[in-house]
């Protein structure tokens, strides 16, 4: 059995303010890494800058992190951090800024290196990273992963380095600013992490302990995602708790096939991460050979059976259309995705992947042109 989760987590309302001494003890000048606008609106950026200023810690802000951050943006932010001589990095926002902050912290600590370091398997120093999540979905505040968009390879891929934040300051009140679409997508990402970690080759007793607890919490708030009413404070709290727990789960196992397949839809059709992952979950459960595990998992989530689960997911997302040629390409890509295949406990085949796609998206047939014999 292995258990390794080195991130110190504080989870409570007004978390940044209450733990500002710990935050500011990490360095003398911070690079704050965030998205374009949400952290300014939900108060998280202000909370962090106030905490730093009150303790005399300097900072510089990079607020250009896009959704599904690219390697190019990482390098731009790292250049700023190097020029400004920062000695720690604070990621504020959803998974995109939090993942970006890890990759940026790596590049700042290795100013002599170029971007290829991100995907090289070698030991390299990294600046301390603090994560302040404002979505409840990725759990990036407690995972060692950073998923970046690689335009050169036209997909998304996790960097080779495992970088756990040293500190996670988790305040569910930031979630109250998220529109319903973001709330649903991110909550389904949490669900996918729990499912893909539970039905994973690398699961173990410790991992199960938290994943089962996470699944139970998730099951308790699932109806809130179907409603247009704003969730209660305790629901937001539960969403954040489930997200962080699910992050701890995948830290031990990694994600599985739905995450691997989702990256194509996000890169090529701009489908938000949680939506792109979520639509594959019912078909993933359907092909999973150990039905006892699936039954137990659905029980923890308080779904009667697979049919009820499929109906639930279908009611949240619109149908995604994919060209037949593209499906063939994705199936071939997944058959060579050794990382994700290793996390799936059974043998995968092209036919099985095709079945997952067929049952998850609408496949648009290639247009057949009539045959003209020009000699006639
Ligand atoms: P995101 O890409 O970080 O943000 C999505 C949108 O939500 C952005 O427009 C953002 O605005 C907005 N937003 C963030 N917090 C908000 C709030 N409190 N209120 C209103 N709007 C808010 O979304 P995400 O789903 O959290 O992260 C997805 C990324 O994480 C993907 O790149 C995915 O691959 C990665 N991921 C990482 C892990 C891991 O273990 N590290 C796991 C799963 C997924 P701004 O741009 O203005 O901030
Ligand atoms: Zn995810």
Please write the tens of the pLDDT for every residue from 133-171. 999 999 999 999 999 999 988 889 999 999 999 999 999
**Shortest CA distance to 133 belongs to which of 94, 97, 102?**
94
Share of the chain above pLDDT 70, in %: 97
Buried b (16+ CB within 10 A) or exposed e, 51-86: bbeeeebebebbbbbebbbbbebbeebbebbeebeb
Ligand 1 site, residue 244, Cβ cutoff 6 A: no
pLDDT at 334: 97
The whole-number pLDDT of residue 366 equals 79
Helix, coil or strand: residue 146: coil
Does residue 374 have a pLDDT over 60? no
Query: What residue owns the CA closest to ligand 1's atom 44?
Result: 138
Q: What is the mean pLDDT of residues 48-72?
A: 98
Residue of 36, 64, 67 best suited for mutating to test ligand 1, as the one with most atoms within 8 Å of CB: 67
376, pLDDT greater than 90: no
* pLDDT at residue 87 is higher than 90: yes
Nearest to 309 by CA among 300, 321, 318: 300
Task: Select from 243, 273, 274, 339 the residue to mutate for testing ligand 1; criterion: most ligand atoms less than 8 Å from CB.
Answer: 273
Q: Which residue's CA is the nearest one to ligand 1's atom 25?
A: 186
Query: Which mutation among 7, 15, 35, 42 tests ligand 1's pocket best, with the greatest number of atoms within 8 A of CB?
Result: 35
Q: Are 183 and 94 in contact (CB under 8 A)?
A: no
Q: Is the pLDDT of residue 51 over 70?
A: yes
CB of 140 closer than 6 angstroms to any ligand 1 atom: yes
Cβ-based neighbours of 308, under 8 Å, separated by 6 or more = 298
Instruction: Quickly state the pLDDT bin for 266 (edges 50, 70, 90).
Output: very high
213 Cβ below 6 A of ligand 1: no
Question: By alpha-carbon position, which residue is closest to atom 21 of ligand 1?
Answer: 178
pLDDT of residue 244: 98
How far is the CA of 199 from the CAs of 1, 24, 87, 292, in angstroms? 17, 39, 39, 11
pLDDT per position as a tens digit, 307-332: 999 999 999 999 999 999 999 999 99
Say how far apart CA 8 and CA 134 lie, in whole Å: 17
Q: Residue 128: is its pLDDT beyond 70?
A: yes
pLDDT value of residue 368 = 63
In 3D, which of 64, 85, 67 has the Cα closest to residue 75? 64
Specify whether the CB–CB gap between 121 and 86 falls below 8 A.
Answer: no
How much of the chain exceeds pLDDT 90, in percent?
A: 95
Query: Residue 158 forms beta bridges with which residues?
Result: 147
Q: What is the mean pLDDT of the chain?
A: 96
Say how many Å lie between the CA of residue 231 and the centre of ligand 1: 19
Q: What is the Å distance from ligand 2's center to 274 Cα?
A: 6
Backbone phi, psi, residue 35, to 5°? -85, -175
Q: Evaluate: CB of 186 within 6 angstroms of ligand 1.
A: yes
Alpha helices by DSSP H, listed for the chain, are 15-18, 20-24, 38-41, 44-54, 71-83, 95-109, 180-198, 205-221, 233-253, 257-269, 273-278, 281-287, 291-300, 306-316, 324-335, 338-343, 350-360
Residues 290-303, mean pLDDT to the nearest whole number = 98
Cα–Cα–Cα angle for 238, 103, 90, rounded to 5 degrees: 55
Mean of the pLDDT values across residues 189-207? 97
Taking a C-beta distance cutoff of 8 angstroms, is the pair 246, 140 a contact?
no
110/117 Cα distance (integer angstroms): 9
How close is the Cα of 226 to the center of ligand 1, in Å?
21
- Residue 367, pLDDT > 80, answer no
Which of 168, 143, 164, 166 lies closest to 10, judged by CA?
Answer: 168
Residues with CB under 5 A from ligand 2 (ion): 189
Give the tens place of pLDDT for each residue, 91-115.
999 999 999 999 999 999 999 999 9
Neighbours of 95 (CB within 10 A): 29
């Amino acid at each position: 059995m292995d258990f390794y989760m080195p991130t110190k987590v504080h989870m409570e309302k007004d978390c940044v303010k209450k733990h500002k001494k710990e935050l500011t003890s990490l360095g003398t000048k911070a690079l704050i890494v965030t998205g374009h606008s949400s952290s300014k609106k939900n108060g998280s950026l202000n909370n962090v800058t106030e905490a730093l200023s009150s303790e005399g810690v300097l900072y510089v802000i990079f607020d250009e992190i896009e959704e599904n951050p690219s390697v190019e943006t990482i390098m731009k932010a790292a250049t700023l951090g190097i020029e400004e001589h920062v000695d720690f990095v604070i990621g504020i926002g959803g998974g995109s800024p939090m993942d970006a902050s890890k990759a940026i912290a790596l590049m700042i600590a290795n100013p002599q290196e170029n971007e290829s370091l991100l995907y090289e398997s070698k030991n390299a120093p990294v600046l301390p990273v603090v994560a302040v999540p404002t979505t409840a979905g990725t759990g990036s505040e407690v995972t060692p992963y950073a998923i970046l968009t690689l335009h050169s390879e036209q997909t998304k891929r996790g960097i080779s380095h495992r970088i756990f934040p040293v500190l996670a300051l988790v305040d569910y009140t930031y979630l109250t600013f998220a529109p319903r679409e973001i709330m649903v997508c991110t909550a389904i990402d949490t669900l996918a992490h729990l499912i893909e970690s539970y039905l994973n080759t690398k699961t173990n007793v410790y991992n199960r302990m938290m994943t089962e607890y996470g699944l139970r919490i998730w099951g308790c708030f699932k109806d809130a995602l179907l409603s247009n009413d704003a969730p209660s404070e305790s629901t937001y709290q539960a969403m954040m708790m489930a997200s962080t727990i699910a992050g701890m789960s995948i830290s031990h196992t990694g994600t599985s096939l739905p995450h691997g397949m989702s990256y194509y839809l996000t890169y090529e059709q701009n489908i938000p991460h949680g939506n792109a992952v979520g639509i594959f979950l019912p078909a993933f459960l359907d092909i999973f050979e150990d039905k006892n595990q699936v039954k137990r998992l659905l029980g923890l989530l308080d779904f009667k059976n697979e049919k009820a689960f499929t109906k639930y997911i279908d009611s949240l997302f619109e149908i995604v259309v994919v060209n037949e040629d593209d499906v063939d390409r994705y199936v071939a890509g997944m058959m060579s995705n050794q990382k994700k295949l290793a996390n799936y406990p059974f043998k995968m085949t092209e036919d099985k992947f095709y079945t997952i796609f067929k049952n998850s998206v609408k496949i648009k047939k290639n247009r057949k042109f009539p045959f003209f014999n020009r000699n006639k």
